[in-house]
Structure 1
Amino acid sequence: MHGILASDASTDVDTKVLVLYTGGTIGMLVGANQSFTPEPHFLVESLRAQTRFHDPLGDSLFSHASTAEGFRAWSHNSSGRSSPTESSSPPGATAIPPATGSHVPTLLVRSSRPIAPPPDRSAPPGQTLFRQHTSKKVSSDCYEMHIPSLVTPRALDAQGNWKRIRYAILEWEPLLDSSNMDMTGTVDVIATEIELNYHLFDAFVVLHGTDTMCYSSSALSFLLEDLGKTVILTGAQIPLAQLRNDAVDNFLGALWLAGYYIIPEVSLYFNHVLYRGNRCSKTSSFALNAFESPNFPALVNVGIDVVVNWSNVLRQTNLRKFHVHKAAAHFVSATLRLFPGITGDIVRAFLMPPIRGVVLETFGAGNAPQRQDLMTALRDACDRGVVIVAISQCTKGSVSDAYETGQTLLQSGVVPGGDMTPECALAKLAYLLSKSELSVQDVRSLVGKPLRGELTAASGDRPPTLTTAERVQDMLAQVVRISTNSFPNSGSRGHLPPITITVDQSGEHKPLDVTATWGSTASETVTTEAALAPFLIHLAAARDDVDAVTFCLEAEAAAERSETGRHAIAGGMVNCVDFASGRTPLHAAALNGSILCVNALLEAGALVHMRDSMDHSPLYYAARQGHEAVVDTLVKAGAHLGGSDIKGSFVALAVTKARRKGDVASLRVWRKAGAEIPQDEIN
């Protein structure tokens, strides 16, 4: 059942989120010595008691406060709570049947190590401690357990659908202060836990101490290769147990973003801002806005509105399944900060074996003292294979060769690290050095190239920008061509039919020269393109017209290069949603068996885990329609069945029908998609 047990009676569409609780300030209590210390099981019990985080029956104030009528109905009786049978659901939501007895729905969770249940202790009268079941060993490095789930009140998602977030908290044992986190130890365990549960959950939130959170988020961004789901790290400066705290906002914000948005990269959420995880640093030990991303804009700003900067979100363009890189380079990389008067002997001693890589924090834009002993020590280390990466000690800016002192450093064999943060540079260097297939020269070459958006790439030559009239002309020509063409792929960019715009200042439609009155401003052009492009790319995907799909993606890139900025399309062109159905272009291509467009969309960063208004994935539609080649491609890209595909028994129904008809071909396609069908049924 992909994590949800059959005993879960809810028929609502739930987003499943796994919370990995490693420790940190967020769940600490005041200890005997009057200092904050981690307290096992407190966080889970505390969240369960808060109706903003936990509302399994949908009968809390938060589930009935979307309208005045709902609140009045909820507070009608003298107790302030209506009975389950009197409970009114938000408009469009499905009422949850009352729970039977004291049963708490559970989620299946996997772990790389056995997790013991909380110790037996007496609960206050009328309360039941929130316990997880004893883990069961299923393989040499995998344990399974059913953890009682928490479920949020219903809320509207970005498409206007009522949804809930159902989440389980896997608590570390023991809980760690962030200063005890190990980038090549504990972080590896976090990556492994995400890998074991990747197909069981839609997103992941990691609760972490703030002191080393940027080290962990940077390391995870590299270890989690070909990531297609949301992973968010968060924590708090003030514990949840304190009356005044930032823990509620940080955890609730991270949980909300993980449950309602697919942002397929490792990110860090703090003080209403979502940052790219390998682009930020902790800049304050006392402020609530403790983190900054000095050289890259935020991915999401959470205020009255949730503003997602989709043009900055990474798009996974490799057609490979998600996997975790586990061969971390232990104790072979380190950080050295230059200071006035540093000697060659200090540097030489620092660079002795087993050190294989060093992040060199230089002055300004990549400058260093020009003493011969220092340059010789650096050159000798580089000659014997040590990879030395130069970054700036400045919070903002990048290393460059603008100064002679910087050029001399690079001539010694030091590699420029661009505008990477120290935490990221160290994590990236350890990641690259741990890949046995890479030579020293390969590592030096990859250090300066963005692998996970961790540094700003050097700007290259930009293609010529079309005039506003030319851009709208091309867009309309594509719409006309593909709308009137019944045969996919019969047109080409080089042979578009001519088109005449009919616009008149008086309001009448008369034939006019396209350059005379159309789109006289760049902003009008961008607005027109943004209105036409989603229609065009969905139509192109359905018709398997790669030329038109490519045109739309290039138009978006051209708009981003223009003076007006970018298309105002949520999720980016490749993931734009049809609000009538909630489907993306990949849904349209999968439904219609458009294999050429499926490949083109995936290469452009289409998200395989997006679901439409019916909570169906592109893989489900491809399998339902029997498009075997599309199923093969989507599975290769990391797609899997889940959500209503499984929970709603849609896959089970399709498989049953195929068995009754003796349709071996359909059974084979469903088995490739991930349905549990014995091999002998398709032989």
Structure 2
Amino acid sequence: METRSDEARVLVIYTGGTIGMLVSSRGYVPEPYFLTDTLRSQKRFHDPLQDSLFSNAASVEGYREWSNSGKSTPVSTDNVTTPSASNQPTLLVKSSRPIGNTVTLSPSIFSQIQRVNEQPECRNVADGVYETRLPSLVTPRSVVPGNGHTKRIRYAILEWNPLLDSSNMEMDDWIRIAAEIELNYTSFDAFVVLHGTDTMSYTSSALSFLLEDLGKTVILTGAQIPLSQLRNDAVDNLLGALSIAGNYIIPECSLYFNHTLYRGNRVSKASSYDLNAFHSPNFSPLVNVGIDIVVNWNDVLRQTSLRRFRAYKGKQMSPHVATLRLFPGMTGATARAFLAPPTRGIVLETFGAGNASQRPDVLAAFKDACDRGVVIVAISQCIKGSVSGDYETGQTLIQAGVVPGGDMTPECALTKLSYLLAKPELTAAEVRSLISLPLRGELTPPVPSLAAAPSLDGVNIDLSGLLSQFVRLSSSAPKADIPQIVIGEEAQDAAAPWSRTAAERASTEAALLPFLVHLTVARDDVEGLEFCITSAATASCSGMTEGTAEVVVPGGIVNCLDAGSGRSPLHVAALNGNMRCVEKLLESGALVHLRDELGHTALYYAARQGHDLIVDTLVSAGANLGGMENEAGYVGLAVQNAVNAGDDAVVEIWRRAGAKIID
């Protein structure tokens, strides 16, 4: 879902990888501090004064004014003094490691510290939690895709020390990335993880499970050619990831590469030399970046659990998992050796649609392992396709206790198995049950039998109901006096017959439903809201099953934005104190982190209006006051006014919303 304030805050966690490497006598090697120094020197990545060509070429008038101002004339940098770290805008960042050990400040501040002999302040604020202020970089102001507004992205880079080649990435490093996202979750709008390409699909899959009840955008990216080379893919990948992270709320762990955003647990690295290095064979991309940025909103996951975000509490993954690829002639002895303790889980790469050799010793080895609690998940060796169990040679595996893994990738199946086996509360039987269920959109559920296609009369009846609701909510007349709209053969007096195509029905609903939803929420009309949600869902399903056009509202109908204020239905419900609609919206996938044109969240409006029950509901669903609301002084001013007025009830509401109250 598109965000609407004029600045987004993104934390970039730089773990290493090709993107920041330099050429040495030993080949490409990571160089500390190089990446941030390079980004700071390039106007497309850092334009703090907004005086670059990128910031002033949105219109002919703007470009001419900038060009005639003299700012476009290159200035010699021979005598320019690099500003000290203390003069740079900073962002507060937390880390799970102390500075000087395995996490460092961004490269530029370290180089500046070395120049001016300054020491960064790093505080140990809790057990295993450290915080410091990192210098921020800010992109040129650019036009937000789709609405004509301009926006910039302010970001800080948390660089690991040492930087890792992705082939050295381990499970503990996945936990560390998840922990750093959790520590900084309330302070940033989105997160970008810079990572090597070799194991990026493993990390993106693991993070999709470790980041539970995720409500913000997390994107992994990297490069095949490092930023240090004149011709590279690093610029496009990093700029693309920053742009999507700063402009849209896509509450998933995703992977961005070669102008495409994929669901993170659906990808595999397919090429070591193509710039199009990753493929998602069984699931379409979430975003395609071309001349336009096209978000496939119907495929984006929606958070409906009404729980706050957290990284997996166990803080570990089971290392006792492995992948076994079947091959012709495999013996039972080989299988038993592979399945021996301490192995607890195996991803079994089977032939075709889930088939295996029918050798009795091999099948006995699998059955014995399953009987003693080893979880074996069957996936296909084919790049594209799924385990179906349609063949007898596949059914024997299921009878032995092997669990079908659908169309999961090997990387996803392994990390999901490791994640589930690390949960001490789950039995082997429960793990087997969860393996076959889509927890984060990682596998395609079985397709139910298609119902009979709706008749054209049914299409007209649905559209008649939609337009009747639209007229009812738009009118101040008593309900009994509002005419019902009838479309179809019964509308004999119509000047022109209504076109009866599903495509035109979809386009009509896409135009009317957003306005209708905002009306229903403003009036606390839960029945009308349910009608809108059902209408959108029915039309979407109809489009998918019949191959016709779908109702496509960015982020879903419950997240549609008012064109003037940028407010979502959740903003409107919270502002007006309409608790029933708040609950219905959250149950239907409303995003709690959306900000309107003024940069405010629904939680801010609920607290400002004194709607305490709505505040509690939003907080329990994962909402938090944005960093900009705190730093711009809106929250502080409201709290101070309540304190000065002696209004303890209002102060308590702000406290429950997450405001810092100084007693």
Would you say same fold, with TM above 0.5? yes
Distance 1:122 1:539 in 2: 50
Stretches of structure 1 that go unaligned for 5 or more consecutive residues are 1-11, 84-98, 505-509
Letter in 2 for 1:279: R
Cα distance per residue 1:45-92 (max 9 Å; x no partner): 000000000011111121111123322332336673499xxxxxxxxx
Alignment of 1:418-437 (within 5 A): 418-437=406-425
Letter in 2 for 1:477: S
- Tell me whether 1:398 sits opposite 2:389 in the alignment: no
Deviation at 1:599, TM superposition (A): 1.2
Aligned partner (choices 640, 654, 665) of residue 638 of structure 2: 654
Map of 1:32 onto structure 2: 25
Alignment of 1:348-497 (within 5 A): 348-460=336-448, 465=454, 467-484=458-475
Partners of 1:481 and 1:496 within 8 A in 2: no
Map of 2:8 onto structure 1: 15
Letter in 2 for 1:58: Q
Distance 1:119 1:271 in 2: 26
Deviation at 1:496, TM superposition (A): 13
Map of 1:258 onto structure 2: 245
Map of 2:591 onto structure 1: 607
Distance 1:643 1:79 in 2: 32
Distance 1:570 1:427 in 2: 31
- Relative distance call for 1:118 and 1:661 in structure 2 (3 A) is closer
Distance 2:19 2:66 in 1: 32
Distance 2:562 2:93 in 1: 34
Partners of 2:36 and 2:107 within 8 A in 1: no
Aligned partner (choices 513, 516, 521) of residue 541 of structure 1: 521
Partners of 2:461 and 2:487 within 8 A in 1: no
Partners of 1:382 and 1:388 within 8 A in 2: yes
Deviation at 1:131, TM superposition (A): 9.2
- Tell me whether 1:233 sits opposite 2:225 in the alignment: no
What's the secondary structure of 2:54's corresponding residue? helix
- Tell me whether 1:133 sits opposite 2:120 in the alignment: yes
- Relative distance call for 1:287 and 1:103 in structure 2 (3 A) is same
Deviation at 1:578, TM superposition (A): 1.1
- Tell me whether 1:500 sits opposite 2:463 in the alignment: no
Alignment of 1:57-456 (within 5 A): 57-76=49-68, 80-81=72-73, 103-116=87-100, 133-158=120-145, 159-182=147-170, 184-327=171-314, 328-456=316-444
Map of 1:93 onto structure 2: none
Identity among equivalent pairs (%): 60
Distance 2:427 2:387 in 1: 24
- Relative distance call for 1:130 and 1:275 in structure 2 (3 A) is farther
Deviation at 1:134, TM superposition (A): 4.3
Cα distance per residue 1:585-609 (max 9 Å; x no partner): 1111111111111111111111100
Deviation at 1:120, TM superposition (A): 11
Distance 1:298 1:397 in 2: 17
Partners of 1:115 and 1:173 within 8 A in 2: no
Letter in 1 for 2:265: N
Letter in 1 for 2:529: V
Deviation at 1:480, TM superposition (A): 3.2
- Relative distance call for 1:206 and 1:130 in structure 2 (3 A) is farther
Map of 1:638 onto structure 2: 622
Q: How many residues align?
A: 639
What's the secondary structure of 1:62's corresponding residue? coil
- Tell me whether 1:531 sits opposite 2:511 in the alignment: yes
Deviation at 1:374, TM superposition (A): 0.7
Q: How large is the RMSD of aligned CA atoms in angstroms?
A: 2.9
| TM-score (normalised: structure 2) | 0.91
Distance 1:389 1:333 in 2: 11
Partners of 1:179 and 1:211 within 8 A in 2: yes
Map of 2:80 onto structure 1: none
- Relative distance call for 1:496 and 1:415 in structure 2 (3 A) is farther
Aligned partner (choices 625, 639, 649) of residue 665 of structure 1: 649
Distance 1:149 1:119 in 2: 9
> Comparing 48-57 with 665-674, which one deviates more in the overlay?
665-674
Per chain length, whose mean CA-contact separation is higher, i.e. which structure has more relative contact order (CA < 8 Å, sep 6+)? Answer: 2
Distance 2:158 2:487 in 1: 62
Deviation at 1:208, TM superposition (A): 0.1
- Relative distance call for 1:100 and 1:615 in structure 2 (3 A) is farther
- Relative distance call for 1:656 and 1:629 in structure 2 (3 A) is same
| TM-score (normalised: structure 1) | 0.88
Partners of 2:187 and 2:627 within 8 A in 1: no
What's the secondary structure of 1:75's corresponding residue? helix
Cα distance per residue 1:290-349 (max 9 Å; x no partner): 001000000000011000000000001101000011433332111100000011111111
Cα distance per residue 1:353-398 (max 9 Å; x no partner): 1111100000000000011111111111111111100000001010
Distance 1:522 1:675 in 2: 49
What's the secondary structure of 2:124's corresponding residue? strand
Deviation at 1:636, TM superposition (A): 0.4
Partners of 1:132 and 1:145 within 8 A in 2: no
Distance 1:360 1:520 in 2: 50
Stretches of structure 2 that go unaligned for 5 or more consecutive residues are 76-82
Partners of 1:284 and 1:291 within 8 A in 2: yes
Letter in 1 for 2:249: I
Distance 1:353 1:671 in 2: 51
